[in-house]
Amino acid sequence: MRHPGLVVLSLGSTVLLSACQMNSDAQVERALKDINVIDESNLNDVMLTVADPGEAVNYFTKALQENPDRIDLMRGLAKSLIRAQKPTEAADIWRQTINHPEGTLEDRVMLADALIRSNQWDAAKAELNQIPPTHETFDRYRLEAMVADSDKNWKKADSFYEIAAGLTTKPASVMNNWGFSKLTRGEPAAAEKLFIEALTYDPSMFTAKNNLVLARAAQRKYDLPVVRMTQIERAELLYSMALAAIKQGDVAVGRGLLQEAIETHPKFFEAASRSLEAIDANVQL
């Protein structure tokens, strides 16, 4: 004897199991998708920070070919091109981001940065002029200061450097750039103070140490400043100071500093040795 009710019940159970299976599959698929997004995000971060610049460029180029509308990949490629010392190509990608529906004012700031790196100062200035004054970010004012410097608008440059320094907890690079600006204007004492301040924020910044030595040498202060330095750095700073002294006509002082640099360096200091030989040859002549 047949039992229709049981058949219906069986079919209902089958449908229910099928629906549960579909829901389960959908959940698994969503979970896997979430994991892939996380993995990709982590990989993107790695490529932008510690990966070889050329490898990062290849990675983001391929990813962007597969997903041409993703602005995060555009930004990743542009930043990687900057790291790979290809600012002109980076500028082309940043232009794509500012034309993207999700483009932001900060993308335009980064375009200006790439233009400055490729020595397109007028174009960079034009991009910065399109950014409203309400967009107050560290990078924006850092670039504004550099553009003002290039125009020799010292008052505006000083104002922008000061604002930029106040918008970051790591102002060492800004202080260093500001100090170099002062040095090129012929204000070595003011430059010296800014380089010292830069080193209080980042004692390892060799560029600031070297600029500090140049600022002191411009004032004919031929002793090394009291800053943290390795033995190799000490030799290189003595070498920089020696060249500055020679350029200013203090040849005897420069010769002594070259000799000290050679004796200080833990290995053979070829550049200093060549300079010393050149001076001795000229003296003999």
- Convert the pLDDT of each residue in 80-100 to its tens digit: 999 999 999 999 999 999 999
Distances (CA, A) of 103 to 91, 131, 137: 14, 13, 16
Q: What is the pLDDT of residue 45?
A: 74
| Contact between residue 264 and residue 257 where contact means Cβ atoms under 8 Å apart | no
Reading the block at residue 55, the tokens are 């490898």
Q: How does pLDDT run across 206-249, given as a tens digit for each residue? A: 999 999 999 999 999 999 999 999 999 999 999 999 999 999 99
Q: How does pLDDT run across 29-66, given as a tens digit for each residue? A: 554 444 344 455 577 777 777 578 899 899 999 999 99
* 2 has a pLDDT exceeding 60: no
Residues 6+ apart with CB under 8 A from 232: 265, 266
Q: What is the pLDDT of residue 29?
A: 52
- Select the more confidently predicted residue: 23 or 193: 193
* 12 has a pLDDT exceeding 80: no
The average pLDDT across 118-147 equals 96
Give the closest residue to 239 by CA, choosing from 209, 260, 211, 208. Answer: 260
Q: With bands split at pLDDT 50, 70 and 90, how would you rate the model's confidence at 282?
A: confident
Helices 138-150 and 121-129 pack at an angle, to 10 degrees, of 130
* 8 has a pLDDT exceeding 70: no
Sign of the CA dihedral running 260, 261, 266, 270: negative
- Select the more confidently predicted residue: 196 or 20: 196
Q: How does pLDDT run across 142-155, given as a tens digit for each residue? A: 999 999 999 999 99
- Select the more confidently predicted residue: 279 or 140: 140
Could you tell me the domains of the chain? 44-120 (1.25.40.10), 136-227 (1.25.40.10), 230-285 (no CATH)
